[in-house]
Amino acid sequence: MKTQNKFTKNGIQKWVPSIILIACISACTSKESPKDLSGKSAALNSGYDIGTITQKGLASEVRLPGQLKPFDEVAIYPKANGFVKKVYVDRGSEVKKGQLLIELEAPEIESQLKAAQAQYLQAQEVARASEDKYRRLKDAAKEAGAVSSLDLDNALSKMRGDQAVADSQKANVTSVRSMQGYLTIRAPFDGVVIQRNVSAGALSGAAKASQPLLILQHLQKLRLEVYIPEAYVEKVNLKKAVYVNFTAIPGLNRKAMISRSANSLGDGRSEAIEIDINNSDLVLKPGMYGEVKIPLMTAAQSLLVPNHTIVRSTENQYVIKVVKNKAVLTPIKEGLVGTDSTEIVGDIKPGDHIILHATDEIKEGTAIK
């Protein structure tokens, strides 16, 4: 029994080295190869999509907010002192050019007109009498010694003076009549009354004009005011129509041309432009906001790259050129951004090869295969 146990123990000792050797061989012949956790091998052996810089024009657009304003607006003040006799319109009234809006009454102006007319008639009679006297003296002067030259000259001077007084009185009558015309206030243009600040019986006049009697706006045509940032001022395409969507009225769109521009930058480093919007149905209101799609244009020779080729960091923005199978980080500046392409400026030229889908993980001098 002791001999058998010894044999068994010695047998196990002989087989242990053989088992360890077989396990090592199995591990070495396994299909799984050792992994490179450094990442260097993958970077060097992986392929990159290479693109080419092209040169052509880029059409783009910019979306900016715009605000509607009345095409014309006027605050109506009284020019003469008087009482409001009748108001023919109210807030929201649509009026036509020349339509009577307010009628004032001022008895003192009527009295002034009658007095001015009487003085004019009196001056006319005096002027006629002077003219008649001068003619008679002139006819009498045809006979030698009948009338002295001094008397004839005096008559001529008096006739001219009396005629000047008559002309002055006539001008006074015209002036008072003009003041009388101020008692009737008419619309200066077609529009809508948006504010009424007076009622019949109120005392009105220039001395009490702290606020206008009426405010009238021309709403059948509106001005859409848009401020163009300085970066886009020179790139606005004036030959193409703009498209406007109004946020307050979904589905309402307008197409129009840019009507005018300020040709000057304001305090916000932007240029104001105006777009005339037809509003004959009075659906749109001043003060409404709209989103304006404005077409932009660039020079005929623009360097374009796909949008996803530009790498942006906190310090700069660049594209990665491929020069002699090496990565070259090239700083650039962006211009207009289109749907698929971006205009760039930098140390680049048409035909240069660049990496598509570039990332900041690619460093300067990285081998590109």
Lowest mean pLDDT among 70-74, 219-223, 235-239: 235-239
CA distances from 253 to 49, 188, 286, 287 (A): 42, 31, 16, 16
* Residue 85 CA, distance from chain mean position: 42
User: Does pLDDT of 225 surpass 50?
Assistant: yes
Local confidence band at 218 (pLDDT 50, 70, 90 cut-offs): very high
| 3-state class (DSSP) for residue 200 | coil
Q: Tell me, what's the pLDDT at 7?
A: 39
pTM of the predicted model as reported, rounded to 2 decimal places: 0.55
pLDDT band of residue 295 (cuts 50, 70, 90) is confident
Whether the predicted pLDDT of 40 surpasses 80: no
pLDDT single digits (tens) 97-150: 999 999 988 888 888 888 999 999 999 999 999 999 888 888 888 787 777 888
| Choice among 3-12, 98-107, 178-187, 210-219 with the minimum mean pLDDT | 3-12
Q: Provide the token pair at 295.
A: 């077409």
Strand 82-87 with 341-346, pairing: unpaired
Written as six digits, the tokens of 178 are: 């003009």
**pLDDT tier, 229 (very low <50, low <70, confident <90, very high otherwise):** confident
Q: Is the CA virtual torsion 38, 44, 45, 48 positive or negative? A: positive
Domains of the chain: 50-58+300-355 (2.40.420.20), 63-68+219-296 (2.40.30.170), 82-106+183-214 (2.40.50.100), 107-179 (1.10.287)
